[in-house]
């Protein structure tokens, strides 16, 4: 720093680099200020999503109801068709038919029993269940159809 002799203004103080001293706290340039969004203000997309929330909730509930309905039809069917049923309980189709009847299945059971190749004689009626010749004769609205024979034997006629 310079020394004052009392005659005139004091000399300009010098910094370490030989130039005038600077006050670092007041002589620095202004730093940019980050502007934060107003608190509790949702962006425009969030407001739109909030308006759509009831629609999204409705669609989600409908999808869950459809999945439950499909799962229920598979795991707790209201009616069962046994394609390839047999009156002989030693065969797979007969065993399934026998198990459903002896297990007191509560819904309708529709056995599809082919009489034989080329034969159109009606199959025997087993335990008061009407037996059908083909898949085409089955009523609409079945919940579950179980195929218990090779696919080449299941005909739609």
- What is the tens place of the pLDDT at every residue in 9-58? 655 555 555 555 666 556 666 766 666 656 655 556 555 556 677 888 88
The tens digit of pLDDT for each residue in 89-134 reads 888 888 999 999 999 999 999 999 876 555 455 555 544 578 888 8
Average of per-residue pLDDT across 134-149: 88
What's the token pair of residue 139? 């009523």
Top-confidence residue, 156 or 108: 108
The reported pTM is 0.50
Residue range 77-153, CATH number: 3.40.50.720
CB 131 within 8 A of CB 125: yes
Where along the chain do its domains lie? 43-75, 77-153
* Residue 140 near residue 108 (C-beta atoms within 8 A): no
């Amino acid at each position: 720093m310079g020394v004052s002799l009392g005659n005139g203004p004091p000399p300009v103080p010098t910094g370490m680099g030989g130039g005038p001293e600077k006050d670092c706290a007041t002589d620095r340039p202004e730093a940019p200020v980050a502007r934060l969004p107003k608190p509790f203000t949702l962006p425009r997309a969030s407001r739109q999503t909030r308006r759509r929330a009831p629609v999204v909730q409705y669609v989600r509930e409908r999808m869950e109801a459809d999945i439950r309905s499909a799962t229920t039809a598979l795991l707790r069917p209201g009616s069962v068709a046994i394609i390839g049923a047999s009156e002989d309980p030693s065969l797979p189709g007969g065993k399934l038919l026998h198990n459903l009847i002896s297990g007191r299945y509560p819904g309708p059971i529709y056995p599809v029993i082919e009489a034989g190749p080329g034969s159109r004689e009606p199959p025997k009626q087993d335990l008061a269940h009407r037996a059908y010749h083909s898949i085409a004769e089955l009523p609409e609205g079945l919940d579950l159809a179980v195929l218990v024979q090779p696919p080449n034997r299941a005909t739609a006629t």
